[in-house]
C-alpha cells in the first residue's frame, strides 16, 4: 500500500469544493481515533449527519458490517468538515476504514497518498458507468466507487407552458429554449431561474451551459465559453431571468420555482419529491446543448473510498463492506434510501426504473453527466472553478462583458494552477 505523503499538509487548502453543489447537508459530528486492527469494529465516516442512529441509512451501514462479520462505528460530518477531518486523521495515522466522500474531493485525498486504489482492494469496477467513475480516477487509477449520482436538469411548470403555448418536447437546443422563454414572457409569466451565486454552486449550475457549448475547463475564455456566458447574460438583460440569480443558491432557486411564478428552474435530482408535491404540475426536460442533444451536467454524489491502514489484514473486511454497498441491489437500496441518487451501473439503473419509472429522465441525465475533475484537473479544479464563478458574477452584474470576464478568469486560472 502507498505510504501517506507530505502533500497532506497542503491539501487541506483545497477541500471546500463541491460541498453545496449537489445536495448539501447540515450539522456535524465526529470522534477521534482510528481502527483497532485487533477489534471487530470498523470505522465509517460519511457526510450525512441528518441520518441519525435510527435512520434507514444507519441500518444500511450496519447491515453491511454484519454481513462482513463486524460492527460498524459510524460517524457523520458536514461535507467540508469530513474532508478536513480525513486529511487530519491521515496525518495522525488515525484514518477510518471507510469514508463516503463528495466526489470532487476524491482527487484531493488521493493525491496525498492516503487512499488505496480499488485495484489494491481487489474490487471490480467494470460495470460502473465510466463517466461516473472518472471523477475518482487519478493518473489512470480509480480510488473509489460512486455509491450513486445526482445531477441537474430543467424543471418546468406545466401550467405556465400550457398557457404560453409551449410544448416541452420542442425544447432541444439553446435557440428553442430561448424561444420558449420569449413566449412565456409574452404570456405574462416569468421565464427561468438558476443559481449564479459566487460559490461552487454557481459553477455547478453554469457547467451544463459551458460544457454544452463545447467549452473546456482548461480554456475558460474560448469562444464557446463566451457564448455560454452570453446566453445567461442575454436572459438577464431580456428579463427572462430575474436579477436574483446573481445571488441565488440552489435552495433559493427552488423556493422561487415553488411560488409558481417561473416556467423553468435549473435544479437537481434531490428535488424530485418536492416537485411531485408542488401546487402545480411539473415536468423535466433535459438541459440542452447549444446545437442540440443533452448537455453534460456535472455529477454530484459520494464515492466510497478506503484510506490506507497500517495493518494490511483489515483490507479484506473493508473490501467486503464496499462490495455490499456496490452490488446492483445495494445501489438501488442507496437510491431508495436517499430518494435522489441514481445507481452508477446499467443493471442498477434498470432495477431502479422497475420500481420508479418516473425517474427515467434523471437516469438519462446521469448517463450524460460528467465529473467536475474527470478531465484530469484533479486538485486544480477548485482554483479553476473559483475563477469561473468569479467571471459569471462579473458578467451577470454588468461589471464586465462575458468576454472580458472570462479572459480575466483564464488569466487567474493560469496564475494559480500547476
Mean pLDDT of 163-173: 98
pLDDT at 197 over 70: yes
Whether 137 and 158 map to the same domain: the answer is: no
Question: What are the respective helix, strand and coil percentages of the chain, to the nearest 5?
Answer: 50, 15, 35
Domain with residue 230: its CATH number is 3.40.190.10
Q: Is residue 2 part of a domain?
A: no
Residue 259 lies in a domain: yes
Stretch 283-306: mean pLDDT, rounded?
96
Whether residues 39 and 75 fall in one domain: yes
Res 153 pLDDT > 90: yes
Q: How confident is the model at residue 289 (pLDDT cuts 50, 70, 90)?
A: very high
Mean pLDDT of the 310-334 span:
93
pLDDT of residue 287: 98
The answer to whether position 332 is within a domain reads yes
Residue 256: enclosing H or E segment and its boundaries? helix 250-258
How far is Cα 123 from Cα 270, in angstroms, rounded to an integer? 29
Q: How confident is the model at residue 4 (pLDDT cuts 50, 70, 90)?
A: very low
Determine, yes or no, domain membership for 7: no
The C-alpha cell of 48 is what? 450525512
Judged against a pLDDT cut of 90, whether residue 10 lies above it is answered with no
294 or 15: which leads in pLDDT = 294
Give yes or no: residues 382 and 239 share one domain. yes
In this predicted structure, the answer to whether residue 43 has a pLDDT above a threshold of 90 is: yes
Q: Give yes or no: residues 287 and 389 share one domain.
A: yes
pLDDT digits (tens, 9 = 90+) for 350-363: 999 998 999 999 99
Over the stretch 207-251, which tens digit does the pLDDT of each residue have? 999 999 999 999 999 999 999 999 999 999 999 999 999 999 999
298 neighbors 97 (Cβ within 8 angstroms): no
According to DSSP, residue 17 is labeled T
Run of H or E residues at 44: strand 41-46
Shared domain check, 166 and 210: yes
What distance in Å separates the CA atoms of residue 24 and residue 143, rounded to the nearest whole number?
23
**pLDDT 10s digits, 50-96:** 888 889 999 999 999 999 999 999 999 988 899 999 999 999 999 99
> What are the two backbone dihedrals, phi and then psi, of residue 288, each rounded to the nearest 5 degrees?
-85, 145
Per-residue pLDDT band at 322 (split at 50, 70, 90): very high
Give the pTM: 0.86
Please check whether residue 174 is in contact with residue 294, taking contact to mean a CB–CB distance below 8 angstroms. Answer: no
- Render 286-334 in DSSP notation, one character per residue: PPBPTTSSBPPPBPB-EEEE-B--S-GGGHHHHHHHHHHHTSHHHHHHH
Residue at 6 is within a domain: no
8, part of any domain: no
Q: Does pLDDT of 18 surpass 50?
A: no
Residues 240 and 160 in one domain: yes
- Can you tell me the distance from the alpha carbon of 123 to that of 145, in angstroms, rounded to the nearest whole number? 9
> Which of 24, 11, 67 is closest to 249 using CA atoms?
24
pLDDT at 39: 59
Do residues 157 and 255 both lie within one domain? yes
- Please tell me whether residues 128 and 186 are part of one structural domain: no
- Confidence band for 379, pLDDT divided at 50, 70 and 90: confident
Domain identity same for 177 and 250: yes
Place of cell 441500518: 59
Number of domains in the chain: 2
Q: Does residue 404 lie within any of the structural domains?
A: yes
- Rounded to the nearest angstrom, the gap between the alpha carbon of residue 41 and the centroid of all alpha carbons in its chain is 31
pLDDT higher than 80, residue 31: no
Domain that holds residue 42: 14-149+299-367
> Do 267 and 347 have their domain in common?
no
Q: Is 225 left (phi over 0), alpha (psi -120 to 50) or beta?
A: alpha
Are residues 363 and 382 both part of a single domain? Answer: no
Distance CA 198, CA 203 (A): 8
Q: What is the mean pLDDT of residues 119-130?
A: 94
Amino acid at each position: 500500500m502507498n505510504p501517506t505523503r507530505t502533500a497532506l499538509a497542503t491539501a487541506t487548502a483545497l477541500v471546500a469544493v463541491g460541498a453545496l453543489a449537489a445536495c448539501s447537508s447540515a450539522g456535524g459530528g465526529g470522534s477521534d481515533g482510528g481502527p483497532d486492527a485487533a477489534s471487530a469494529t470498523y470505522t465509517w465516516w460519511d457526510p450525512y449527519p441528518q441520518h441519525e442512529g435510527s435512520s434507514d441509512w444507519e441500518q444500511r451501514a450496519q447491515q453491511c458490517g454484519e454481513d462482513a462479520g463486524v460492527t460498524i462505528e459510524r460517524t457523520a460530518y458536514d461535507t467540508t468538515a469530513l474532508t478536513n477531518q480525513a486529511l487530519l486523521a491521515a496525518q495522525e495515522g488515525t484514518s477510518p476504514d471507510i469514508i463516503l466522500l463528495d466526489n470532487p474531493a476524491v482527487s484531493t485525498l488521493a493525491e496525498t497518498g492516503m487512499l488505496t486504489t480499488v485495484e489494491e482492494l481487489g474490487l471490480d469496477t467494470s460495470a460502473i458507468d465510466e463517466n461516473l467513475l472518472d471523477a475518482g480516477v487519478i493518473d489512470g487509477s480509480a480510488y473509489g466507487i460512486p455509491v450513486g449520482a445526482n445531477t441537474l436538469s430543467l424543471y418546468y411548470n406545466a401550467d405556465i407552458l400550457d398557457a404560453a403555448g409551449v410544448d416541452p418536447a420542442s425544447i432541444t437546443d439553446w435557440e428553442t429554449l430561448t424561444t420558449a422563454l420569449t413566449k412565456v414572457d409574452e404570456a405574462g409569466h416569468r421565464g427561468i431561474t438558476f443559481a449564479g451565486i459566487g460559490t461552487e454552486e454557481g459553477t455547478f449550475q453554469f457547467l451544463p451551459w459551458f460544457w454544452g457549448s463545447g467549452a473546456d475547463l482548461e480554456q475558460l475564455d474560448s469562444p464557446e465559453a463566451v457564448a455560454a456566458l452570453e446566453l445567461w447574460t442575454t436572459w438577464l438583460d431580456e428579463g427572462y431571468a430575474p436579477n436574483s440569480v446573481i445571488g441565488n443558491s440552489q435552495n433559493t432557486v427552488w423556493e422561487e420555482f415553488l411560488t409558481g411564478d417561473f416556467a423553468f428552474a435549473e435544479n437537481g435530482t434531490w428535488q424530485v419529491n418536492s416537485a411531485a408535491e408542488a401546487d402545480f404540475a411539473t415536468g423535466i426536460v433535459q438541459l440542452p446543448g447549444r446545437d442540440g442533444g443533452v448537455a453534460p451536467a456535472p455529477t454530484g454524489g459520494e464515492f466510497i473510498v478506503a484510506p490506507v491502514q497500517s495493518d494490511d489484514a483489515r483490507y479484506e473486511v473493508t473490501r467486503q463492506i464496499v462490495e455490499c454497498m456496490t452490488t446492483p441491489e445495494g445501489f438501488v437500496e442507496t437510491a431508495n434510501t436517499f430518494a435522489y441518487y441514481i445507481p452508477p451501473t446499467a443493471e442498477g439503473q434498470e432495477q431502479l426504473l422497475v420500481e420508479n419509472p418516473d425517474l427515467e429522465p434523471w437516469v438519462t441525465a446521469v448517463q450524460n453527466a460528467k465529473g467536475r475533475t474527470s478531465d484530469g484537473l484533479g486538485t486544480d479544479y477548485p482554483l479553476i472553478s473559483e475563477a469561473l464563478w468569479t467571471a459569471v458574477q462579473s458578467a451577470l452584474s454588468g461589471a464586465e462583458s462575458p468576454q472580458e470576464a472570462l479572459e480575466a478568469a483564464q488569466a487567474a486560472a493560469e496564475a494559480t494552477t500547476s
